[in-house]
A and B are shown apart, each in its own frame.
Chain A
Amino acid sequence: MADVQLIILFTSMALVVIGLYAAIFVDNIIKKIIGISFIEEGANLFIVAIGYKPGGVVPILMPGMDTSWFATNAAYPLPFGLVLTSIVIGASTLAVMLALVMVLYRRYGTLSTKVMLADTSKQEEYNE
């Protein structure tokens, strides 16, 4: 069996790189935001992968468990807690971004970044 952790790490790096690619080269703002949220997910996946332990158990101490067995076999719980927080933050950021896009789409009638988020001095031409 291939090393699960390594595969996850490669996936997370691929997500980050795809996100950075989308941030530069994609013009549609919604697609760009989807791409950018890939970066966030890549970072989260990376942190989850840190806590992985081959053959590990869920880090909850149940009654009757041997503590020393638990200590050697439980997965590292801290990364999961951190990722949970980070996902919530990412979701709220995404919501605010999409809300702003909605307002701007009503004003400009297009989703093109080149028009919607151009230089401030040029925006006066687009927005008559």
Chain B
Amino acid sequence: MNELIPLMVIVPLMAALVISAFSRFNTLTKALAFIVALCLPIIPLASNYGLHYFGGYEPILDNVTNVMYHPAITYSFTFLQQIFIAGVGLLTFLVVFIYLTKYRKVSGPYLFLLFLGTAAVTAMILTDDIFHMFVFFEILALAQVGIVAASSIDYSYEMALKYMILGSIGSPMMLLGIGFLLALTGSVNVTDIVAAVHNGLVNVKSPVFLLSLGLIFFGWLYASGLPPFHTIKSGIYSKAEPHGAALLQSFTVISMISIVLIMFRIYSTLPIFEVLIVFFSILAMILGVSLALTQTDFRRMIGFLAVGELGFIGLGIGLGTQFAITAGLFQALNEIIITALLFIGFGAIVNATDEVDTRKLGGLLAQHPKVSIMLLIGGLAMAGVPPLSGFQSKLMLVQASLSCGYPELSILAIMVSIATFVVFVKTYYTMFLKPKPKELELEGKEVPRSMIIVMGVLLVIIILLGVFPDVVTNGISNFVGGIL
């Protein structure tokens, strides 16, 4: 049933509006939010693959040039979209679940922001229309700013404003790039643009075409938090509530891959495209991990690690072969789940201790054994220890870069994994294993049970993906074969 495809965007969008309208009725809001959140992962799993044309405008065949034109905004739904939308839907459900159980009186506007963000990333990954993607990219930025500003952490407003001002430079640049493409091809539909580029209607060597790549690429850097935006990205993660941060990083990853896949389809004929992506990915890996090593605020540290891990995704896509892109996308899926686990786990520690400075913490293993064990496994998965899911995707990436003839990149990827491991072990030691400092008072505060349940669910997914990676990689590989 292809009617379900637009519903993936419409349901969270409508829910967001209805919930914020009826936020005076607490029980009703809670029930509605729970039901909608439960629907989010189910709809993509129940839907069939296919295309959806908004307004019912089917593609038109031009008899003179024999080219298909797509007048409608088109959503295309394949295995890749299914797995990512189900992933972010599940994560939204878990985050909403934590939020609903944590507070007795829930805030309608906050739930509005969570659902709005989910709807925006869902539309971004579904759409085949570059301007439609830009619109939801802006909506996503607004939702992210709202989630950050709504947190009760000090200086969250400042960080939100900084993110917004940087975004007001990044997104008009992307719009200009889209404008250049529109001027060259007369269309904003990606399939039409790709057809124009491949049929030679556009001169791929013209500076305008290259400039459009540069401008859209700059917007992509902002969306994905690669350098020079790595500081602000890690900043907003550290200033959001932990469950909000878990959702924010999934938004970042999905907007990153949805924009880069569109860019890949349009610009993959240009050799410079891959050079650019690999360059910024390497920069992100090096800067992210080396800055994570020097942080004392552990939320900021996880933020920098998350940015560093994004470099792996970029690396896979920048290498440009079918195997490498599959590895990059698989890494994206793993990162969404693993980083969410880490944010929620460390957030549980903040909840229980009211302290974010690693130097003032210690000896928490005795107090919170469940959280610490699950965090340990999550950290190992992020560093790429078998048999967890991070290992599978990183191994694929290393193999891919070796088979492309770039052994330096393999060594670099392994080194970054090791450094990630060092960051994690250092933080884990200072927080959980070191003797408890005298000043630290733990007056019997418990970690909310919902957080532990959510961590357990994410952990099961990590282990399952680590043991059976083929379930996902085969489908992704087919998808990648289709766009190459």
Q: Which residues of A contact B (CB under 8 A)?
A: 16, 19-20, 23, 32-33, 36-37, 39-40, 42-44, 46-47, 50, 76, 78-79, 82, 85-86, 89, 92-93, 96-97, 100-101, 103-104, 107, 116-117, 120, 123
Q: Are A79 and B182 in contact (CB under 8 A)?
A: yes
Give, as a whole number of angstroms, the nearest-CB distance from A25 to chain B: 14
Q: Are B135 and A85 in contact (CB under 8 A)?
A: yes
Residues of B within 8 A of A44 (CB): 175
17 residue pairs bridging A and B, Cβ less than 8 Å apart:
A23-B169, A36-B165, A37-B168, A39-B172, A40-B172, A43-B173, A43-B176, A93-B141, A93-B164, A96-B164, A97-B168, A100-B145, A100-B160, A117-B158, A120-B155, A120-B159, A120-B235
B131 within 8 A of A: yes
Q: Which residues of B contact A (CB under 8 A)?
A: 131, 134-135, 138-139, 141-142, 145-146, 149, 155, 157-162, 164-165, 167-169, 172-173, 175-176, 179, 182-183, 186-188, 235
Of the residues A19, A50, A89, A123, contact of B182 by C-beta under 8 Å: A50
Query: In whole angstroms, what is the CA distance A89 to B140 when docked?
Result: 11
Give, as a whole number of angstroms, the nearest-CB distance from B269 to chain A: 23
Q: Are A50 and B179 in contact (CB under 8 A)?
A: yes
Of the residues A20, A76, A96, contact of B169 by C-beta under 8 Å: A20
Query: In whole angstroms, what is the CA distance A38 to B186 when docked?
Result: 25
Q: Is the interface of B mostly helix, strand, loop or mixed?
A: helix
Using CB atoms, name the residue of chain A closest to B297.
A120
Q: Are B138 and A97 in contact (CB under 8 A)?
A: no
Q: Are B164 and A100 in contact (CB under 8 A)?
A: yes
Residues of B within 8 A of A16 (CB): 172, 176
The total of interchain contacts (Cβ-Cβ below 8 angstroms) comes to 91
Query: In whole angstroms, what is the CA distance A120 to B235 when docked?
Result: 9
Residues of A within 8 A of B161 (CB): 97, 100-101, 104, 117
Give, as a whole number of angstroms, the nearest-CB distance from A110 to chain B: 13
Top 4 A-B residue pairs of the complex, sorted by shortest distance between their CB atoms? A43-B172, A100-B161, A43-B175, A47-B179
Q: Are B176 and A46 in contact (CB under 8 A)?
A: yes
Query: In whole angstroms, what is the CA distance A31 to B368 when docked?
Result: 50
Give, as a whole number of angstroms, the nearest-CB distance from A30 to chain B: 12
Known contacts A36-B168, A117-B161; A100/B149 CB under 8 A: yes
Most chain B CB within a 10 A radius of its CB, from A23, A50, A89: A89
Give, as a whole number of angstroms, the nearest-CB distance from B127 to chain A: 14
Q: Are A123 and B165 in contact (CB under 8 A)?
A: no
Q: Are A46 and B169 in contact (CB under 8 A)?
A: no
Q: Are A89 and B139 in contact (CB under 8 A)?
A: yes
Known contacts A46-B179, A97-B165, A120-B158; A78/B172 CB under 8 A: no
